[in-house]
Structure 1
Amino acid sequence: MTELDGVFRREWGPAVAAIARWSGDLDVAEDAVAEAFAEALRTWPRDGPPERPGAWVISVARNRALDRMRRESTRPRREVEAALDGRWAAMDSAEVHPVRDDELRMMFTCAHPALEPASQLALTLRLISGLTVPQIARALLQSEDAVARRISRAKGKIRGARIPLRVPPLELLPERTPQVLACIYSVFTEGYWSTAGPSAIRDDLCDEGVRLADELCTLVPDSCDAQALSALVLLHDSRRATRVDATGALVPLDEQDRARWDRERMTRGLSRLRRAEGAAGTYLPQAVIAAAHATAPTWNDTDWGLICKAYDRVVDLTGSPVAQANRALAIGFRDGYRAGLRALDEVSGDPRLARSSSTAAIRADLLRRSGRFTEAAEAYRAALRLDGSEPARAFLARRLVECGG
């Protein structure tokens, strides 16, 4: 049911965040929302969707959670109901926490310093974004088993240490902001370049990433890194509509219609970029790269020198093999394709890239542009042996045919 799938993508995070904040239990919240969607799958095809699907999901999930908590509680039933009713009413009281958005609140909650950063990120992506374990594994360049264990351990730590599911006071938010930034960017990235499934782009996750980044800038306006992240996602998102054609097929950057890029989002992104001056993290150089692409009048006018310098900074800050692979492609456009291939050789053996098709796809592109079509075809075959969205695989297959494969 396509409509239900869209509701799931939009409403999973807000529903889990609301039920978790009310119940104080992550497992109860996740299970209750899953049961609500299972009920929707049973009843909506017969009765039609409700007028307010999100409210319906939260209402059903709340009832399922309440049933479970009644069964599992040793306290009298009426006492449990009274306590939970009071907690629900308190959520709607006049007292407003500085973090107004339920999903952003849950991100700050999951960024508790007692949890290791990788577990914070995996847990938040699962609970708030509704990403599956395989999607999270691809985003974090980790195995599915490792991600599943991280999520399980994080939930166990929260339960065992009785970590409260509440947002810290305003003065403590800065120490958790870096992890929230990382989560927002992962949400947007999964939307902008979906790692699996029938679509290359998940509009719901792109919109959510842009919205959360903007909300975070309002919350911590003096954070240069928050401004840089907002600039980065806005500048990328300004090109979203041209990344696929009318059939859903991927359109590479050098073939996109720049006249259709979203100038309003581009202007907002460049404004955020100016406010981000002095940011120490990785989002600023990435935003510089996005701005270089967004402001180039044509593909041939792209400032590859600036882009390579920005990638140098990203690699220095993170040591990311993905950044090194993308840097190699930029070097290929700046210094020639052979230079790009040499740079790619320096990182292609990194085991963290074993599950990603990006290295093989970049190698194939450089070889194709060099006119080395036989070698390019073999690289495209290697990329196709790895996971990817259906449009991404279709794009690689088209390139393979172009190279005589």
Structure 2
Amino acid sequence: MKDVENAITLAHKEEWARVVATMARRFGDLDIAEEATSEAFAIAVERWPADGIPPNPGGWLTTTASREAIDLIRRESKRHGKHKEAMRIYDNDPHLPLGAIDDDRLRLIFTCCHPALVMENRVALTLRMVGGLTVDEIARAFLVQETTMRRRITRAKVKIKVAQIPFRMPSTDDLPERTSGVLAVLFLVFNEGYLPTGPNTDAVRDDLTTEAIRLARLIRNLMPEDGEVIGLLAMMLLIEARRAARVSSSGELVTIDEQVRAAWNSALIAEGHSLVRERLKTGVPPGRYQILAAINAVHTSAPESRDTDWSQVLALYNHMIRLDPSPIVALNRAIAIAEVDSPEVALATVDPLHAALNNYHAFHATRADLLRRLGLSLEAHEAYDRAIELSGNSAETAYLIRRRDQLAR
């Protein structure tokens, strides 16, 4: 019995994305793909203990999911036309070609990132359907309410159905116009792994960061000359290199200025730096991810925190804010301003962001630190309280509580 449970668990880890991708390709509907795949695994849980583990679990799940999808379509009279098409595909037609992408999960991400959808909805839908993030986690990433994000995802699904957007495997020619959405998905998946926001999650989710890096490497192989692909991969590697030093033995977040740099992964840092230099040699103006990679390269080049070239970091953020004048970029830029100029000047840059970032924990944490450095303990305490209230990561919450409790009363 235990062997069967282990087999089902392993199949879920290895086959879920592939079966969903196959069902979506055959039947052209994400909802049916997911529901049929769920039914197939439920049937496996019921039958495998009695019938034994099939010789080809993945093939068994795909066949069962196909039959469940057909049954779903049959039960929905409005899908009569799709039922005929599905039966034809299932019974007679050969499998559709995989197209330019061999990896099932990456292929499904490119498929979901259809340019007919608004970028935010495109990314949100893909994070939900393929990335495995909850609606609440996606909402946190976009700094919106969960109900707002749920409506966005629903609208994206409705548009796919009403507009009959073709859910097909992207060809090589399709890749460039979909890449920005795909990179945004991987960026947000990586961020959720780097600093998980969901309740009762681990301080760091290396399953998400590792998968995001794996997929970024695959995209680089597909598009080796795309600077933003290289930039995103380099940024991920340079951040991932610091993972072992990010959480203390007591479960508290360790900020980069306090991390033991000997614990950093030197191989990943070397690879990340090499990718950054590779892009610099081209002389092509960098995009958002390339600038983020360069910023992380500056941080990881310093032997000690005090050696960080903050002037270069600020110059990179000055460039970044021209490309992406978002409140988040302005907030991160303010941290560099505090080091180059003063906490007072930085605070004057941060305070106007209140309306846009009031529900973002990092805004209040940054403001608290600046107030602390200015000796304004009462105001800093209030800002720490708000940051702690909004923080969804246990390690970060522990760090913020300690910093708050160290304030002079």
> So what's the TM-score if we normalise by structure 2?
0.86
Aligned mate of 2:158, from 156, 159, 168: 156
Q: Secondary structure at the match of 2:95?
A: helix
- C-alpha spacing 1:62/1:393, structure 2 compared with 1 (3 Å): farther
Q: Number of aligned residue pairs: give it.
A: 397
CA distance in 2, matches of 1:204, 1:339: 39
CA distance in 1, matches of 2:55, 2:333: 48
- C-alpha spacing 1:220/1:374, structure 2 compared with 1 (3 Å): same
CA RMSD for the aligned pairs?
A: 3.3
CA distance in 1, matches of 2:285, 2:101: 22
Aligned mate of 1:133, from 129, 135, 145: 135
Aligned mate of 1:281, from 287, 299, 324: 287
Q: How does 1:30-179 map to 2 (within 5 A)?
A: 30-35=34-39, 61-72=65-76, 74=80, 81=87, 83-86=89-92, 90=95, 96-179=98-181
Q: Please state if 1:396 is matched with 2:400.
A: yes
Identical columns (%)? 42
Partner of 1:248: 251
For the Cα contact (< 8 Å) 1:105–1:167, is it kept in 2? yes
Partner of 1:265: 268
Aligned mate of 1:236, from 234, 239, 256: 239
Aligned partner letter, 1:338: E
- C-alpha spacing 1:85/1:297, structure 2 compared with 1 (3 Å): farther
The offset of 1:382, in angstroms, is 1.3
Aligned mate of 1:23, from 23, 27, 33: 27
For the Cα contact (< 8 Å) 2:238–2:272, is it kept in 1? yes
For the Cα contact (< 8 Å) 2:73–2:80, is it kept in 1? no
CA distance in 1, matches of 2:247, 2:44: 31
For the Cα contact (< 8 Å) 2:122–2:156, is it kept in 1? yes
Aligned partner letter, 1:257: V
The offset of 1:344, in angstroms, is 1.3
Partner of 1:313: 319
CA distance in 1, matches of 2:82, 2:114: 32
CA distance in 1, matches of 2:261, 2:47: 45
Q: Secondary structure at the match of 2:390?
A: coil
The offset of 1:300, in angstroms, is 0.4
Which 5+ residue runs of structure 2 have no aligned equivalent?
A: 1-5
> So what's the TM-score if we normalise by structure 1?
0.86
CA distance in 2, matches of 1:51, 1:380: 56
The offset of 1:268, in angstroms, is 1.5
The offset of 1:158, in angstroms, is 1.4
The offset of 1:46, in angstroms, is 12
- C-alpha spacing 1:75/1:156, structure 2 compared with 1 (3 Å): closer
- C-alpha spacing 1:203/1:100, structure 2 compared with 1 (3 Å): same
Q: Secondary structure at the match of 2:110?
A: helix
CA distance in 2, matches of 1:97, 1:330: 45
